[in-house]
Amino acid sequence: MTDADFLLRVIEDVTFAQLRTFACAARAGSFVKAAEQLGISQPAVSEQIDTLERRLGHRLFDRRRGTTPVLSADGEEALEIVQTILAASSLLFEHARQTAEKVALRISVGPFLRERYLRALVPRIYRDFPDIEIELCPTASSTELMRQIETGELDLATYALPLGAEVPRHSRQICELPLALVGPVGTRARLAAGEISLEDFQFIFPGSKDSVARWARKVLRDLGLRPRVQPLFIEFVDAIVQMVEDGHGIGHLMTFSVTDEIESGRIEQLDVALPPMRRLIGRSPYAPAVAREIEDIFCDVLTV
């Protein structure tokens, strides 16, 4: 039998399961040991090899009752070819795994969360999910983010809403976020003495004007304030802290994001009670299945 004849019969009739069983039995020198290694029964090994022998038209093992099956001359020749086929098959599927198109995940996360949490998470995510590719998308207002989640334009998005707001469909709450007004050191004393009022300050809110301006106006209305200077909108918390420290305004920030600066005396928290926000994460109903696992990771990490 030539190599070409053998390969033709493999293509037409033989399964890879039969070839793997034959090769395993040949290497193990025992149908029983082959069954143990393959996790199947010994009769199943015998049946697969019997089928392979019938389809090839000759015996692969010499068998005598009470003795261990021994490769026949044809079996030894076939084993070399089978090992080549199985090795080529392994290389083919390994190449397919390596070149498979990655699953893209479109994620929107605000600048502070990107720097504080996502930057450290990226190596873990790519280690645990090597077949995904993260595409970071621009932030937007919560209304726009929810629309993009609903339509599938985004797969995952984190955002914040007032505590009393209803949790939108396809979203879940991660945690509550206490808020603080922070000012330059000495601001509390000046306010208490009546030297200045809060309306004399420029308020600085985190985020882009397009995404948070409406919410910021509501915050000021709820505080009964009409500042004389239009508020600023800056996406970087550290920049807001520096501006507050330098005396350029009052920052409206999540308390945990400025705890270190308050404790170190760089800025001070003002005696103004603010209702907390809630941090949420939305996952599109059209997102890839792996998005659920990434969502769970975010929920575990973004709890402060």
Query: Side chain identity at 170, as an amino acid letter?
Result: H
Q: Domain tally for the chain?
A: 3
Residues spanned by the domain of 145:
103-170+279-301
Instruction: Verify that 187 and 210 share a domain, yes or no.
Output: yes
115 — pLDDT class (breaks 50, 70, 90): confident
Rounded Cα–Cα distance for residues 155 and 121 (Å): 17
Task: Kindly state the tokens that stand for 57.
Answer: 């038209």
Residue-level pLDDT at 283: 96
Rounded Cα–Cα distance for residues 227 and 214 (Å): 15
Rounded Cα–Cα distance for residues 160 and 142 (Å): 7
Instruction: Verify that 31 and 73 share a domain, yes or no.
Output: yes
Instruction: Verify that 81 and 124 share a domain, yes or no.
Output: no
Q: What is the pLDDT of residues 224-269, one digit of tens each?
A: 999 999 999 998 889 999 999 999 999 999 998 899 999 999 999 9
- Report how far Cα 188 is from the mean position of its chain's Cα atoms: 43
Residue-level pLDDT at 161: 87
Instruction: Verify that 135 and 200 share a domain, yes or no.
Output: no
Rounded Cα–Cα distance for residues 98 and 284 (Å): 28
Could you tell me the CA-to-CA distances from 63 to 25, 60, 72, 253 in Å, in that order? 13, 10, 9, 81
Instruction: Verify that 116 and 88 share a domain, yes or no.
Output: no
Residue-level pLDDT at 274: 93
304 — pLDDT class (breaks 50, 70, 90): low
Residue-level pLDDT at 44: 87
Q: What is the pLDDT of residues 57-100, one digit of tens each?
A: 889 898 877 677 888 988 898 888 888 888 887 776 665 555 55
Residue-level pLDDT at 250: 97
Neighbours of 194 (CB within 10 A): 7
Instruction: Verify that 12 and 67 share a domain, yes or no.
Output: yes
Residue-level pLDDT at 68: 78
Lowest mean pLDDT among 41-45, 195-199, 269-273: 41-45
Q: What is the pLDDT of residues 11-56, one digit of tens each?
A: 456 788 888 899 998 888 888 898 888 878 888 888 888 888 888 8
3 — pLDDT class (breaks 50, 70, 90): low
Instruction: Verify that 258 and 201 share a domain, yes or no.
Output: yes
Instruction: Verify that 246 and 116 share a domain, yes or no.
Output: no
Q: What is the mean pLDDT of residues 184-188?
A: 97
Interstrand relation of 203-206 and 232-234 (parallel, antiparallel or unpaired): parallel
Query: Which 8-state DSSP code applies to residue 228?
Result: S
Instruction: Verify that 292 and 148 share a domain, yes or no.
Output: yes
In terms of pLDDT, which residue wins out, 295 or 87?
A: 295
Contact between 271 and 151 (Cβ < 8 Å) = no
Instruction: Verify that 61 and 115 share a domain, yes or no.
Output: no
In terms of pLDDT, which residue wins out, 223 or 10?
A: 223
Helices (H) and strands (E) in the chain, counts: 13, 12
Residue-level pLDDT at 12: 54
Average pLDDT of every residue of the chain: 87
Contact between 215 and 245 (Cβ < 8 Å) = no
User: Domain end: 81, 99, 117, which one?
Assistant: 99
Q: Which residue has the tokens 């505080």?
A: 223
- List the one residue out of 225, 223, 229, 261 whose CA is nearest residue 245: 261
User: Domain end: 99, 117, 139, which one?
Assistant: 99
Instruction: Verify that 11 and 43 share a domain, yes or no.
Output: yes
Q: pTM, whole model, 2 decimals?
A: 0.58
Q: Residue 199 is part of a domain; what is its CATH number?
A: 3.40.190.10
Instruction: Verify that 85 and 57 share a domain, yes or no.
Output: yes
Could you tell me the CA-to-CA distances from 303 to 13, 84, 165, 277, 281 in Å, in that order? 58, 54, 19, 13, 11
Residue-level pLDDT at 2: 57
Q: What is the mean pLDDT of residues 121-143?
A: 90
User: Domain end: 99, 134, 156, which one?
Assistant: 99
Q: What is the pLDDT of residues 170-184, one digit of tens each?
A: 999 999 999 999 999
